[in-house]
Every structure is written in structure tokens, then in C-alpha cells.
A = this chain, B = another copy of it.
Amino acid sequence: MARAKSPEKRQAILQAAAREIAASGLGASTAKIAKGADVAEGTLFTYFASKDELFNELYLELKGEVYRRINAEFPYKATLQVRARHVWTESLNWSIERPEERKASVQLGVSDVVTVATRERIGSQQRGAVEETLGEIAARGVFKDLPPGFAASAMGAMQDAVIDTVARKPRQKAVLVEKGFDAFWRMAK
């Protein structure tokens, strides 16, 4: 048999793509991505049929990473506030620790190269605990009077505010993450 497709190369391409998107947006060229992954330009296309497919796979990968991180050690039996704080902290820490991946993820999420089909493929994997927690939040506090989905948007939005602030005051990261949650929780209480 011929050489097998190397998972390492696939990963290298995905990582390079995230890096390039963070640096220059969705206009990031396949040539640069390939060079960043240390493979030939053509090789990129043996792993991903097109730039669009690469970007969809990357989005999946990135979202998957966050969900995997949240689900690991999820405090299923704890109070809602504890569970909410877990979701908040884990996803926020991922964003802060991997700023390039986060930037890429946001850009992809906003664009329309990421298809509806891709977006749908995400949750079905293991969105479970997160969704359950957000659902409970949505039924409380101010969110009770707002459509479902608003609570999730609001959490994401408040996390953006924290990330912005951490970018300016990196030393206070831990405090910001915690106080940020307290702010968010005021709305849910």
C-alpha cells in the first residue's frame, strides 16, 4: 500500500490555517497556510478538497476543542451556579490561552464560508451538558422574559468583554474571569 495520510500533517495544516486566519483574516491564502504547515501547496488539497472545506473542518475542530474541554470534569451534580461558572471559566480560559484559535473561530463563525450543515454537526457531538446548563439559565432572571438563545448570546458577549479587557490587562486575568462571571450572573440570578 502507498503511504498513509498522516494525521500529523492534517493537524499541522489546521493549525497553520488558524494561525493565518488570525493574522490576516479569511483572505489567508492556501499557499501561506501550506507553507506554514511545512507541506507543499498541493498537499493541502489532498487533505482538504478546497479552501472552504478546510475552513469548515477547522471550525468544527475549534468548536470541538472547547466542548471537549468543558465536558472534561463537568460537575454534573453541582448547583446551577457552579455548573455555569464551570462553562464560563473553561471556555473563557481556552479563548485566553489560545488567542489565535479563538480569533479564527470568531472570524469563521461570523462568515458564511461555514455552512449551516457544519454548524449543525457541532452540537450533536457532545453539546449536551452545556446546552442543558444554558437552558436552565435561560429560564431565570432577566432571561426569562427574553427568547431562548439570548442567554447563550449574552454569555458569549460578556466573555468577549472579558477577553477584550484581559488583552489590555493580562496580569489580572484570573480576577477578570471571576468577576466577569459575577457580572454575568447578576443577570441570571
Instruction: Please list the residues of chain A having a beta carbon within 8 angstroms of any beta carbon in chain B.
Output: 2, 25-27, 40, 42, 106-107, 110-111, 141-143, 145-147, 149-150, 153-154, 156-162, 164-165, 168-169, 172, 176, 179-180, 182-184, 186-187
Contact = CB atoms under 8 A, between A and B. Distances in A.
Count of chain copies: 4
B186 A142 contact: yes
A184 to B, nearest CB: 8
Contact of A157 (B141, B150, B160): B160
A185 B157 CA distance: 15
Given A27-B26, A111-B25, A146-B176, A183 B168 contact: no
Given A110-B106, A179-B142, A183-B142, A161 B150 contact: yes
Residue of A106, A110, A150, A164 ringed by the most chain B CB atoms within 10 A:
A150
Contacts of A146: 165, 176, 179-180, 183
B147 A153 contact: no
A20 to B, nearest CB: 13
A166 to B, nearest CB: 10
A143 B184 CA distance: 11
SS of A interface (majority): helix
Contacts of A168: 147, 149
Contacts of A159: 157
A151 B147 CA distance: 24
The interface centre, meaning the residue of A40, A107, A165 with most chain B CB atoms within 10 A of its CB, is A165
Contacts of A164: 149, 153
Contacts of A25: 26, 111
B183 A165 contact: no
Contact of A165 (B26, B40, B141, B153): B153
Contacts of A158: 154, 157-158
Nearest to A152: B161
